[in-house]
């Protein structure tokens, strides 16, 4: 069953999205040029026009993915029920994580698989790269607990092979990609498929089984990616992101799926790979030169997807597969840390971009990833160029001709600039509104409480992201400059937990952003006061950055950003909690369920 859209349909959708984005970018640039050149064309107007084109094109490209997702989404295929014959290993890479929580996830998924009577088809391997000796010792103790919990000793006593494995590398060569590669080289020949997870991943057994059936039925399918739902958020920042991921991402993923053809994405986890395809195509070499551009490939997943496609395998995302979960950062500082790693990884793809034999779409995906980190620089340049243009604008000349009797007033083209601003705002808002309408019509909105609750979540998320965006833009800009300056960000372990920050922690993270905000507002006030209203939406969040970072790290009310997983707890998450309770590691938050009328929830 190769159900991937191919051929002219895919090219048609790509052309539609690309040409629409270019058209919108060019339209915005032309409109802006009329405004910028109202007092006579200067070189800086050309620069500003070019920056408007690039930034608007980028926004439009994002918006077009949702439009494509709404217009061209492939219908979900019927669930399969053919017998599972393949042997699959479920890989759980671990790096300095809390072993109790992670190993309980393995226990929960194994229990769910046992309930489907599929244990003889699935093994688990916990692949530790933990470097902290104390955590490593804890891992061994918790593996024993897991082993007993899943009755592996009885299995061994009955002469059956073990199904749960644990191995720790003392040298984490190649980081996660090296960890997975090490497994394949040692034990890969025993399996047909491997489900690659992250330490915070949880997947329903039925979803895992369905993925295996789909891969069995499609012999050229090399990788099948799910769209993981973000769960586990408790902070304002975390729950806003969780809501956005749950509400918008399925549509954006549908858009990606419609455009990707056989060259889909790999996001590094919650994906099934065909072991022999992966082994034959995805061993990553070290790039020449030192990090950040040389050395081990940091964002290996995109490269692995490109290499599978290069070898002729289909790489596919199936957004209809639910029951796939991950966790996200709980505060802006952790988000920025993760983004620093992703930034380096995406920019490093500049080295892989010219690799021989890659599919054009793979190269485009690399380009897109690089652009996503570079575009914020263009926004800042645009702000600076406007400031420069305004500060150096010539005085209006009402009598350009000698002996002129009547004055000539320069035409006011401000409405053109307002038009561009409204258009840009529309590109940010319109996809979200369309998704709300679509979710209402299809009934998907029920999982988010009701149309009104979802709409309120949308408005609040829009407000929060408007405030957060300038601050995140500053972090992103710093990250890009650090990478181009040759600084390696390393591989910090993920921070888990409730993520609450003290004000001094927030101030330590955001003081430099505040200084830039003050400089921006001060320069505008001094040299171009007429631009003040335009600068304030960016300047004010920067000025209060520590407060924003601090406030958004605090717990969110249950009443906002309700997601389907919070509305109805997924069985696999409930099972994970049961295991933790059984293991005596349950926490207070586990029982923080609330019931309230919708009217109260929407308050």
* 3-state helix/strand/coil string of 118-158: CHHHEEEEEEECCCCHHHHHHHHHHHHHHHHHCCHHHHHHC
Beginning with the edge strand found earlier in the chain, give each strand of the sheet holding 193-196 in spatial order: 164-168, 122-128, 88-94, 193-196, 271-274, 221-225, 314-317
Told to check if 55 binds other proteins by CB under 8 A, we report no
Going by the DSSP 8-state scheme, the letter that residue 196 receives in this structure is: E
Told to check if 582 binds other proteins by CB under 8 A, we report yes
Determine the Cα angle at 461 with ends 460 and 466, to 5°.
100
Given 283, 434, 523, 540, the residue binding other proteins (CB under 8 A): 283
User: What's the min distance (Å) between Cβ of 5 and other proteins?
Assistant: 27
Token pair for 46: 């050309």
Told to check if 267 binds other proteins by CB under 8 A, we report no
Other CB atoms within 10 A of residue 296 CB: 19
Footprint (CB under 8 A) of other proteins, residues 448-487: 449-450, 452-453, 484-486
Told to check if 241 binds other proteins by CB under 8 A, we report no
Told to check if 364 binds other proteins by CB under 8 A, we report no
User: What's the min distance (Å) between Cβ of 355 and other proteins?
Assistant: 4
Nearer to other proteins, 80 or 341 (CB): 341
User: What's the min distance (Å) between Cβ of 501 and other proteins?
Assistant: 15
Give phi and psi for 111, each to the nearest 5: -60, -45
The Cα 2–Cα 22 span in angstroms is 32
176 three-class SS: helix
Footprint (CB under 8 A) of other proteins, residues 537-566: 558-559, 562-563, 565-566
The Cα 360–Cα 365 span in angstroms is 9
Q: At what angle do helices 332-352 and 360-391 cross, to 10 degrees?
A: 120
User: What's the min distance (Å) between Cβ of 153 and other proteins?
Assistant: 5
Told to check if 231 binds other proteins by CB under 8 A, we report yes
Told to check if 220 binds other proteins by CB under 8 A, we report no
Nearer to other proteins, 35 or 72 (CB): 35
Other CB atoms within 10 A of residue 428 CB: 15
User: By rule CB under 8 A, what count of residues binds other proteins?
Assistant: 108
User: What's the min distance (Å) between Cβ of 505 and other proteins?
Assistant: 17
Footprint (CB under 8 A) of other proteins, residues 157-176: 157, 161-162, 164-167
User: Do residues 573 and 202 make contact, with C-beta atoms less than 8 angstroms apart?
Assistant: yes
User: What's the min distance (Å) between Cβ of 593 and other proteins?
Assistant: 5
The Cα 321–Cα 314 span in angstroms is 17
Other CB atoms within 10 A of residue 19 CB: 11
User: Do residues 218 and 37 make contact, with C-beta atoms less than 8 angstroms apart?
Assistant: no
Footprint (CB under 8 A) of other proteins, residues 489-508: 496-498
Told to check if 281 binds other proteins by CB under 8 A, we report yes
Given 14, 48, 121, 145, the residue binding other proteins (CB under 8 A): 145
Told to check if 354 binds other proteins by CB under 8 A, we report yes
Told to check if 43 binds other proteins by CB under 8 A, we report yes
Told to check if 148 binds other proteins by CB under 8 A, we report yes
Nearer to other proteins, 211 or 480 (CB): 480
Given 2, 407, 567, 603, the residue binding other proteins (CB under 8 A): 567
Given 2, 120, 185, 530, the residue binding other proteins (CB under 8 A): 185
Told to check if 16 binds other proteins by CB under 8 A, we report no
Q: Which of these ranges, 387-395, 437-445, 513-521, 544-552, lies near other proteins under the rule CB under 8 A?
A: 387-395
Tell me how far the alpha carbon of residue 222 is from its chain's centroid.
22
Nearer to other proteins, 78 or 354 (CB): 354
Nearer to other proteins, 3 or 276 (CB): 276
Told to check if 100 binds other proteins by CB under 8 A, we report yes
Phi-psi region of 304 (alpha: psi -120 to 50; beta: other; left: phi over 0): alpha
Footprint (CB under 8 A) of other proteins, residues 105-144: 125, 140-144
Told to check if 328 binds other proteins by CB under 8 A, we report no
Q: At what angle do helices 43-72 and 249-260 cross, to 10 degrees?
A: 90
| CA torsion through residues 581, 582, 583, 584, sign | positive
């Amino acid at each position: 069953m190769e159900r991937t859209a191919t051929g002219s349909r895919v090219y048609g959708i790509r052309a539609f999205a690309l040409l629409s984005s270019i058209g919108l970018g060019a339209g915005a640039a032309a409109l802006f040029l009329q405004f910028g050149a109202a007092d006579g064309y200067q070189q800086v107007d050309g620069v500003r026009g070019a920056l408007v084109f690039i930034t608007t094109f980028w926004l439009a490209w994002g918006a077009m993915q949702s439009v494509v997702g709404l217009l061209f989404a492939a219908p979900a295929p019927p669930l399969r029920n053919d017998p599972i014959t393949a042997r699959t290993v479920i890989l759980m890479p671990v790096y300095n994580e809390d072993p109790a929580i992670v190993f309980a996830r393995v226990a929960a998924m194994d229990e769910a698989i046992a309930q489907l009577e599929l244990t003889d088809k699935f093994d688990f391997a916990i692949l530790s790269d933990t470097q902290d000796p104390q955590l490593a010792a804890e891992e061994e103790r918790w593996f024993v607990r897991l082993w007993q919990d899943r009755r592996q000793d009885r299995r061994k006593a009955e002469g059956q092979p073990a199904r749960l494995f644990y191995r720790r590398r003392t040298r984490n060569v190649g980081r996660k990609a090296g960890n997975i590669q090490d497994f394949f080289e040692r034990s890969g020949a025993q399996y047909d498929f491997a489900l690659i997870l992250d330490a915070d991943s949880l997947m329903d057994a039925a979803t895992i089984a369905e993925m295996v059936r789909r891969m069995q039925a499609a012999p050229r399918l090399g990788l099948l990616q799910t769209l993981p739902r973000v769960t586990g958020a408790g902070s304002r920042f975390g729950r806003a992101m969780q809501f956005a991921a749950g509400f918008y991402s399925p549509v954006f993923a549908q858009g990606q799926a419609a455009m990707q053809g056989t060259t889909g994405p790999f996001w590094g986890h919650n994906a099934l790979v065909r072991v022999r395809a992966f082994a034959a195509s995805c061993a990553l070499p070290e790039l020449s030169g030192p990090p950040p551009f040389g050395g081990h490939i940091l964002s290996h997943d995109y490269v692995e997807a490109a290499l599978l496609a290069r070898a002729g395998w289909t790489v596919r995302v199936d957004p209809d597969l639910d029951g796939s979960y991950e966790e996200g950062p709980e505060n802006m500082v952790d988000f920025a840390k993760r983004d620093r790693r992703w930034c380096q990884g995406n920019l490093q793809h500049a080295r892989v971009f010219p690799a021989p034999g890659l599919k054009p779409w793979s190269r485009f995906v690399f380009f897109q990833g690089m652009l996503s980190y570079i575009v914020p620089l263009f926004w800042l340049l645009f702000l600076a160029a406007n400031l420069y243009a305004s500060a150096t604008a010539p005085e209006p000349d009402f009598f350009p001709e000698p002996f002129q009797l009547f004055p000539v007033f320069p035409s006011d083209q401000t409405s053109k600039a307002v038009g561009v601003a409204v258009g840009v705002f529309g590109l940010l808002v319109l996809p979200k509104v369309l998704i709300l309408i679509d979710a209402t019509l299809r009934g998907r909105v029920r999982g988010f409480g009701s149309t009104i609750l979802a709409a309120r979540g949308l408005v609040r998320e829009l407000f929060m992201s408007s405030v957060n965006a300038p601050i995140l833009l500053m972090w992103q800009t710093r990250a890009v400059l650090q990478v181009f300056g040759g600084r390696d960000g390393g591989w910090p372990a993920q921070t888990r937990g409730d993520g609450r920050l003290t004000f001094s922690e927030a101030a330590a993270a955001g003081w430099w952003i505040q200084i830039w905000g003050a400089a921006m507002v001060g320069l505008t006030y001094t040299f171009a006061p007429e631009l003040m209203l335009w600068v304030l939406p960016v300047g004010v969040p920067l000025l209060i950055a520590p407060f924003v970072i601090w406030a958004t790290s605090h717990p969110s009310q249950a009443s906002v950003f309700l997601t389907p997983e919070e509305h109805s707890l997924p069985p696999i998450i409930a099972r994970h909690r049961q295991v933790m309770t059984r293991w005596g590691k349950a926490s207070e938050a586990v029982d923080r369920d609330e019931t309230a009328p919708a009217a109260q929830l929407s308050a």
